[in-house]
Structure 1
Amino acid sequence: MTKGLLWLCTSVLLNAFGNALTVKAAFGSAPWTAASLNISSATGLTVGTVLILMGLVVLVADDMLRQHWNGIKDVFNFLYMMSFGYLIDLWLLVMQPITVNGWLLRVLVCVIGVLCIAAALSIYFKVNLVLHPFDDMLKILREKYLKGNVVLAQRISLGIPLAIGLAVGFFRHELVGINLGTLISFLCMGYFILFFDRFLPVHVNREAMLHHRMHRAHPAKQSQI
């Protein structure tokens, strides 16, 4: 369990760092971050704060789609979402003195950011302890409404923030955060995650964790086997 939590902390730090890099590069961010950038530009709220507020709305929407409250899992998903949002703001604060000039450098920083996000998501899905509400929506759509069609579920779940970002940007005549990085993230993120799945040495023995929990819950029964 401790090993899983350490990997989870590594994942959220790396994910927030990658998203902050794409924001700093100003060459397009992942769809939810891009939407938060446009709302942030319109309201003056920080990117992380907007992500948390959107996550809270999606958390409620997830339970409505699921047609029941997810219990303690919702609490942990909410805490993960809060950590992610505040960490993005922290990374952006740390990166504030850094200047990224020139389109080539901006593209490079943006691609590195997307790869960091993919690596973080690979770790996060392997650990499988919590789900960000954005990812939970994809899972619910895929399993409950779209008969396992992950491609369609991804397009719908990512199409929502893209539509929000585009609507806010066009209304204000100032589109922020939607560019090459958004396209790369939208089209290639799944392939990048598969790549890191093969090469990242993340090993969480979930069967051993389950056996340990069962042993603690039923020690007498276990001793008779």
Structure 2
Amino acid sequence: MKLTRLLFFITGIAILTFGAGLTLKANLGAGPWDALTAGQAKVTGFTVGSWVIIDGVVLLFVNAYLLRQKPQFLAAVTFVFIGTMIDFWLLKVMKDWHPIGLAYQAGTLLVGIIMLSVGVAMYLQSSYPANPIDNLMIALHKRFGVSLMVAKTLGEMTALVFAILLKGPIGIGTLVIAFTIGPTVQWCYHPTERFMMKVSSILR
């Protein structure tokens, strides 16, 4: 089972970062957090992946403060891997690729959302420490007593405001991602769970 969880963790992050790369390359607007890191990269010259890691460190301590707990340093494994993989896709695999035309861009965005959702569903199955962005929702929920939906919205809106200020890639795609990513992850979660059980039984 441990080997299966490790495989799902690695594969899930590889897939979700590929999806994030596609949503950025579609150039129709990325999700709030991806738009934020893209905006930070444009302003500073650091890579998107570097900012994923920097923001992860900041959120590690923000979440610890909100929950009044020690920082979950094991989560660094997750966001460092995510940052490394997003740079791999954007700077190596997709470096010279730019979808041209609205239909091509829309198709790229759609595939990106699906890949993001499958990747998130897979990596969550692994039970490895969650990305601090995901933990922020839990921290806001527990600290202020708001619903998970409100907590998630607060986190996304905060990232969106900073992304706008930094002139990150905000557009119609941002709204599409905001309204579809949750249901799509939910739709992928249980089939992914069943698939993990089958893989686990094979690897025993």
TM score, norm. by length of structure 2: 0.90
Match of 2:173 among 162, 181, 193: 181
1:180 aligned partner, one-letter code = I
| Secondary structure of 1:203's aligned partner | helix
Answer yes or no: is the 8 Å Cα contact 1:146–1:152 preserved in 2.
no
Answer yes or no: is the 8 Å Cα contact 2:8–2:125 preserved in 1.
no
TM score, norm. by length of structure 1: 0.82
Answer yes or no: is the 8 Å Cα contact 1:138–1:153 preserved in 2.
yes
1:209 corresponds in structure 2 to none
Answer yes or no: is the 8 Å Cα contact 2:60–2:73 preserved in 1.
no
Give the Å deviation of 1:199: 2.9
* Whole-Å separation in 2 of the counterparts to 1:161 and 1:179: 14
Answer yes or no: is the 8 Å Cα contact 1:123–1:202 preserved in 2.
no
Give the Å deviation of 1:181: 2.1
- Per-residue CA deviations over 1:146-180 (Å, capped at 9, x if unaligned) read 25x111011011111101101222xxxxxx31112
1:135 aligned partner, one-letter code = D
Equivalent positions of 1:76-225 (< 5 A) are 76-93=74-91, 94-147=93-146, 149-169=147-167, 176-200=168-192, 201-203=194-196
2:29 aligned partner, one-letter code = G
- Over the matched positions of the two proteins, sequence identity in percent amounts to 23
* Whole-Å separation in 2 of the counterparts to 1:97 and 1:109: 15
Give the Å deviation of 1:108: 0.8
Structure showing greater radius of gyration is 1
Q: Structure 1 regions of 5+ residues with no counterpart? A: 170-175, 206-225
2:81 aligned partner, one-letter code = S
How many residues are paired up? 195
* Whole-Å separation in 1 of the counterparts to 2:78 and 2:14: 11
* Whole-Å separation in 2 of the counterparts to 1:168 and 1:96: 22
Give the Å deviation of 1:204: 5.1
Answer yes or no: is the 8 Å Cα contact 1:62–1:136 preserved in 2.
yes
